Amino acid sequence: MGRQRSEKRTWLAVALALLYPGAGHLYLRKGLRALLWFGLVFATTALSVPTSAIPESGEISVEAILAASRALPTAASVAILVLSVLSTIDAYRLARRRNRRAAAAVTPEEDDTSERQCPHCGREADSEFDFCQWCGEPLDADGS
């Protein structure tokens, strides 16, 4: 197997963080930080939903979730939005810092092996994987 690639796609970390706070951190393999962001948003939401918005039957349905989201006070919605933005910024900064460190640690000779060509489909295969992300075929250990 070739050199493990330590760079992460910044745009993917940001997109995942926008999808749900903490998801971008999971992609960056920062589990504790991801748990922190997820927990902050979950706790803010759980503490902000009025008990009148929770169905007495305890049933969780799309209608119940929509009703609870409409019942959120404006301050709670703003707090959740702020947490989401801060989580996204944090994921962006972590990815950029990680990529800067990885770029500084890579010598020009190593940089040529960061991408390799799949012998089966001919497309550029990410060296982070032992298989081609396009066709699914295993890549040879010698870097071809």
Give the model confidence (pLDDT) of 62-109 as tens digits: 887 887 888 888 888 899 999 999 999 999 999 999 888 877 776 555
Report residue 70 CA to chain centroid gap.
Answer: 27
Tokens of 76: 């709670």
Percent of the chain whose predicted confidence (pLDDT) is above 90 = 38
Q: What is the pTM of this model?
A: 0.61
Which helix (H) or strand (E) is 8 found in, with range?
Answer: none
Max distance between CA atoms of the chain, in angstroms, equals 65
Cα torsion angle, 60, 62, 66, 72, sign? positive
pLDDT, tens digit, for every residue of 15-45? 999 999 999 999 999 999 999 999 999 999 8
CB 4 within 8 A of CB 29: no
